[in-house]
């Protein structure tokens, strides 16, 4: 082989490699621009969702204000008072009643008193008292 053909092969290989790198770079650039557009769309959706969330939070805070609650109850013919200290029950984060509260014991006694009802039925055979629990 002559020296010219060897140099031509090296130059050809370098040029093919160069063009392959250009094509790969263009493909990567195109892919990156598509991803950038997709990210921008998702960010716009997120911003819209955050705006809607903030509006919902403001509406909820407005509705649960004491003035609005009293108006809503009045429209429905209801009234609400602050509970007496013996009616308050404090609960922990897990939803269980905190121990040592007098109001809990009082509530349980009232519930038990209400759940036991005695009566004499008109159709009882032996005249025994029935207890409903």
Q: What is the pLDDT of residues 41-64, one digit of tens each?
A: 999 999 999 999 999 999 999 888
Indicate the pTM of the whole model. 0.42
The tokens describing 97, both together, are 């009643």
What is the predicted pLDDT for the residue at 121?
46
Q: Are residues 64 and 98 in the same domain?
A: no
Q: What is the pLDDT of residues 58-73, one digit of tens each?
A: 999 988 888 888 888 8
The three-class DSSP label of residue 132 is: strand
**Residue 130 predicted with pLDDT over 50:** no
What is the predicted pLDDT for the residue at 131?
47
Count of domains forming the chain: 2
Q: State the residue range of the domain holding 98.
A: 84-132
Whole-number Cα distances in Å, 86 to 52, 59, 63, 64, 106: 41, 33, 28, 25, 8
Q: Are residues 93 and 123 in the same domain?
A: yes
* Residue 79 domain-assigned (yes or no): no
Q: Are residues 88 and 58 in the same domain?
A: no
pLDDT greater at residue 84 or residue 117: 84
Residue ending a domain, choose from 71, 95, 124 = 71
What is the predicted pLDDT for the residue at 27?
95
* Residue 78 domain-assigned (yes or no): no
Q: Are residues 95 and 49 in the same domain?
A: no
pLDDT greater at residue 86 or residue 131: 86
What is the predicted pLDDT for the residue at 58?
93
Q: Are residues 17 and 67 in the same domain?
A: yes
């Amino acid at each position: 082989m002559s020296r010219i053909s060897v140099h031509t092969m090296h130059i050809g290989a370098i040029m093919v490699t160069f063009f392959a790198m250009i094509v790969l770079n263009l493909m990567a650039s195109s892919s990156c621009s598509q991803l950038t557009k997709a990210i921008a769309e998702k960010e716009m959706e997120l911003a819209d969702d955050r705006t809607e969330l903030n509006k919902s939070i403001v509406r909820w805070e407005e509705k649960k204000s004491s003035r609005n609650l009293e108006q809503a109850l009045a429209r429905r013919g209801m009234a609400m008072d602050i509970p007496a200290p013996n009616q308050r029950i404090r609960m922990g984060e897990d939803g269980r009643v905190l121990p040592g509260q007098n109001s809990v014991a009082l509530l349980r006694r009232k519930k038990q008193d209400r759940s036991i009802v005695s009566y004499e039925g008109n159709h009882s055979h032996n005249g025994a008292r029935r207890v409903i629990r």
